[in-house]
């Protein structure tokens, strides 16, 4: 296994933190590499050693968060007997709750559509895996069911984050399960 260089890891973390700080009060379109470098206290050339541009940076940040969500919910879609759907929802909401500041900043920024696209794909995969579904071109009802559930989860996640998480992760999971039961009825 390749050992990571702590200096590189620390620099990337500093760049990411600076970017997220900027994103909390400035739109993505207005953020420049100079802004990121200034807040991170690095040279622009250091930024470019690690990232092609700010788009590569946001893509990496989003991918890292989605990979964490995917790993966090891994039992949900690999061993459905070991975990219930309710537990899977609880895990998803607990994960989001653990990094609330990041998701709140992302939701309020113009980067949310980037994240939304990839989150949608991940959630759709989780639902398909949980249902052991294979979407075929002939089964539009199953495809619609999965799309409705995916949209419901994302909409509820957005509501929960934008309202400063007024319910616990467990309460959110219970509500999601109720919705899914009604959708499947």
Same domain, 109 and 176: yes
CB atoms within 10 A of CB 113: 9
Name the domain boundary from 10, 26, 51. 51
**How does DSSP classify residue 2?**
P
- Please name the residue ranges forming H helices in 24-111: 33-40, 44-50, 54-72, 74-78, 85-98, 100-108
Same domain, 93 and 14: no
pLDDT in tens, 98-132: 989 999 998 888 888 888 888 888 888 877 777 66
Q: What's the pLDDT score for residue 156?
A: 92
Q: How would residue 80 be classed by pLDDT, with cut points 50, 70 and 90?
A: very low
Same domain, 37 and 62: no
Give the chain's domain count. 2
Same domain, 73 and 108: yes
Same domain, 121 and 98: yes
Same domain, 47 and 121: no
Same domain, 105 and 88: yes
Q: Average pLDDT in the 162-167 region? A: 94
**By the 8 A CB rule, do 12 and 50 touch?**
yes
Same domain, 18 and 71: no
Q: What's the pLDDT score for residue 79?
A: 45
Same domain, 40 and 77: no
Task: For residue 16, give both structure tokens.
Answer: 């990411």
Q: Tell me which residue of 92, 82, 139 sits closest to 119, measured CA to CA.
A: 92
Q: What's the pLDDT score for residue 171?
A: 92
Q: Average pLDDT in the 165-174 region? A: 92
CB atoms within 10 A of CB 122: 17
Q: What's the pLDDT score for residue 115?
A: 85
CATH number for the domain spanning 67: value is 1.10.357
CATH number for the domain spanning 32: value is 1.10.10.60
Same domain, 96 and 153: yes
- Report the chain's mean pLDDT, rounded to a whole number: 84
Torsion angle, CA of 11/97/101/34, rounded to 10 degrees? 40
Domain containing 99: what range? Answer: 58-184
Q: What's the pLDDT score for residue 46?
A: 96
Q: What's the pLDDT score for residue 44?
A: 95
């Amino acid at each position: 296994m390749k050992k990571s260089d702590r200096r590189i890891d620390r620099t990337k973390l500093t760049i990411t933190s600076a970017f997220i700080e900027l994103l909390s009060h400035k739109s993505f379109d207005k953020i420049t590499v100079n802004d990121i470098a200034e807040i991170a206290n690095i040279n622009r050339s250091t930024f470019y050693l690690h990232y092609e541009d700010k788009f590569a940076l946001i893509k990496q940040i989003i991918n890292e968060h989605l990979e964490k969500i995917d790993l966090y919910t891994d039992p949900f879609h690999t061993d459905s007997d070991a975990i219930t759907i309710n537990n899977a929802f609880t895990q998803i909401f607990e994960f989001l709750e653990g990094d609330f500041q990041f998701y709140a900043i992302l939701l309020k920024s113009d980067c949310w559509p980037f994240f939304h696209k990839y989150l949608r794909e991940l959630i759709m995969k989780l639902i398909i895996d949980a249902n052991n579904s294979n979407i075929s071109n002939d089964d539009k009802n199953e495809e619609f069911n999965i799309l409705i559930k995916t949209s419901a989860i994302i909409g509820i996640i957005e509501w929960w984050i934008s309202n400063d998480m007024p319910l616990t992760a467990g309460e959110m999971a219970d509500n999601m399960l109720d919705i899914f039961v009604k959708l499947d009825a």
